[in-house]
Amino acid sequence: MTVSTLYKIPRSILVIIYTAKLDVLLIERADYVGYWQSVTGSMEKDETPRQTATREVLEETGIDATQYALNDWQQENIWEIYPIWAHRYAPGTTHNTEHVFGLQLPDRVSVTLHVREHLQYVWLASEKAAPLCFSHSNREAILDLPRRAAIP
């Protein structure tokens, strides 16, 4: 096994899943109860951000992102890796680059969670969803949703 297969690549995606009425899907992490977030995930070798977003949405929610409007928000956030997750990255890796997407659905849908990753899900109005997110970049992306959703 090589070093690259032992550790996560420090590039990830964040997908804000929302409805036309700006209701947002949040999922609760199984490994950290009380930590709510949108869909996130690390890129795999030779994967584009869009491919990662599509794969992670399907894995974490059962939603086929190819059937809806998956929009690349052309935004990257660079953040310091939380100490609780530092062991997942190669020694000396301190920052991650997160690529942000929005996935608009016509309305709320039932979600099939990946049971080892998430405990439950909830649909909330964007202004109620944002404060629940433990990640500042996730909160900011949801708060920016009204502006983003208005862009054709």
**Separation CA 143–CA 22 (nearest Å):** 11
Query: Given this model, what pLDDT does residue 2 score?
Result: 46
**Per-residue confidence band for 152, with pLDDT thresholds at 50, 70 and 90:** low
What's the whole-model pTM score? 0.93
Under a CB-based contact definition with an 8 Å cutoff, are residues 37 and 27 in contact?
Answer: yes
Q: What residues make up the domain containing 95? A: 3-150
pLDDT in tens, 111-132: 999 989 999 999 999 999 999 9
By the 10 Å C-beta count (0-12 exposed, 13-18 middle, 19+ buried), 102 is classed as buried
Percent of the chain with pLDDT strictly greater than 70: 95
By DSSP bridging, strand 11-19 and strand 39-42 are antiparallel
Number of compact structural domains in the chain: 1
Write the DSSP string, 50-109.
HHHHHHHHHHHH---GGGSEEEEEEEEEEEEPPGGGGGGB-TT--EEEEEEEEEEESS--
69 vs 63: CA distance, rounded Å: 12
Task: Give the CA-trace dihedral at 65, 70, 73, 78, to 10 degrees.
Answer: 10
pLDDT tens digits, residue range 34-58? 999 999 999 999 999 999 999 999 9
| CATH code for the domain in which residue 55 is found | 3.90.79.10
